[in-house]
Amino acid sequence: MSTPDLNLLVTLDVLLTEGNVARAAQRLRLSPSAMSRSLARLRETTGDPLLVRAGRGLVPTPRALQLRAQVSQLVQDAQAVLRPAETLDLQQLVRTFTLRIRDGFVENFGPALLARISAEAPGVRLRFVQKSDKDSAPLRDGSVDLDTGVIGDTTGPEVRTRALFQDRLIGVVRLGHALSQGEITPARYAAGQHILVSRRGLDKGPVDEALQAQGLEREVATTVGGFAGALALARASNLVATVPERHTGKLRANLFSFPLPVPTPAFTVSMLWHPRMDADTAHRWLRGCLLEVCAGHGTGA
């Protein structure tokens, strides 16, 4: 059996990324005819056409789609192996990291994290993007460097994780609300009109299950997709918001917060990253900064 030409992996990676022979040739500084010959060799080697004509362009075959992520990872791993180990010079580091977060995270942890980054690595910039789901694809394709949130069923099995802090649900109402005075019993809590926070538009949550166990049911007056929206409504109305305590500390300024009168499970907020970033010294430094900043913050209530 002949030894495969591993240079073809780089060519295949670029071809599958670009989906265009001319653009792939330009990226690899090859002539279009040389790239066409490489594509022919790849087709012969894999036994699949890989890219087929569709109108004026090319579209990947099912086999090509199956190979794309694997080939990209192989090329990145090979580049990491052949790249000399670098000593991290934070003062000279120039890089932008993208962090995917839910609302409340920047308000609570952003100032301390940015101050730490600015002091240690003035050339580093952080880009915060909102988290609309738990899909691990942004970590795989590199559009997100670091994710934060509760590990769920949709978290990719290959994703690395590290716990940042424990959190719990609490109730929040405006100052002067009836629930801001006196004992808050399960019945009093359930009798209010509630705001449900759900990115997926669900009409039930863990609080409803806890109330149901005690024969109670709350009235959900409205559903919103984020904590900030829920707290803004609670601030301006008689609605009751139920949000994570630590995650919303700064957002709850001048509001009345109280422990829930029914038991709900605590949960762990973690940071998540793709394993290809494990050995990246700058990424490892950023993970350490985030871990220490989150560990040093209280509830912010």
Q: How far is residue 81's CA from residue 299's CA, in Å, rounded to a whole number?
A: 43
pLDDT at 298: 53
Instruction: Tell me the CATH class for 95-150+278-295.
Output: alpha beta
The DSSP code sequence of 153-172 is: TTS-TT-EEEEEEEE-EEEE
Q: Boundaries of CATH 3.40.190.10 in the chain?
A: 95-150+278-295, 169-265
pLDDT at 300: 45
Q: How many CB atoms lie within 10 A of CB 258?
A: 14
Q: Boundaries of CATH 1.10.10.10 in the chain?
A: 7-82
Instruction: Specify the DSSP element, H or E, that contains 215.
Output: none
pLDDT at 292: 94
β-pair partners for 81: none
| Domain spanning 169-265: CATH superfamily | Periplasmic binding protein-like II (3.40.190.10)
As averages over each run of 10 residues, the pLDDT of the chain (301 residues) reads 75 86 87 89 88 83 86 80 75 95 89 96 95 80 90 75 94 97 96 90 84 94 92 97 93 96 93 89 95 75 42
Rounded to 10°, the helix 281-295/105-120 angle is 130
Identify the CATH number of the domain defined by range 7-82: 1.10.10.10
CA 95 to chain centre: 19
pLDDT at 45: 87
pLDDT at 18: 84
| Start-to-end C-alpha separation, the chain | 67
Q: What is the DSSP letter of 277?
A: G
pLDDT at 201: 66
Q: With contact defined as beta carbons under 8 Å apart, do 165 and 295 qualify?
A: yes
pLDDT at 297: 64
Amino acid at 131: K
pLDDT at 205: 84
Q: What share of the chain is helix, strand, coil (3-state, %, to 5)?
A: 40, 25, 35
pLDDT at 2: 63
pLDDT at 301: 42
The DSSP code sequence of 71-130 is: HHHHHHHHHHHHSPP----TTT--EEEEEEE-TTHHHHHHHHHHHHHHHH-TTEEEEEEE
For 216-250, the pLDDT digits (tens) are 999 999 999 889 999 999 999 999 999 999 989 99
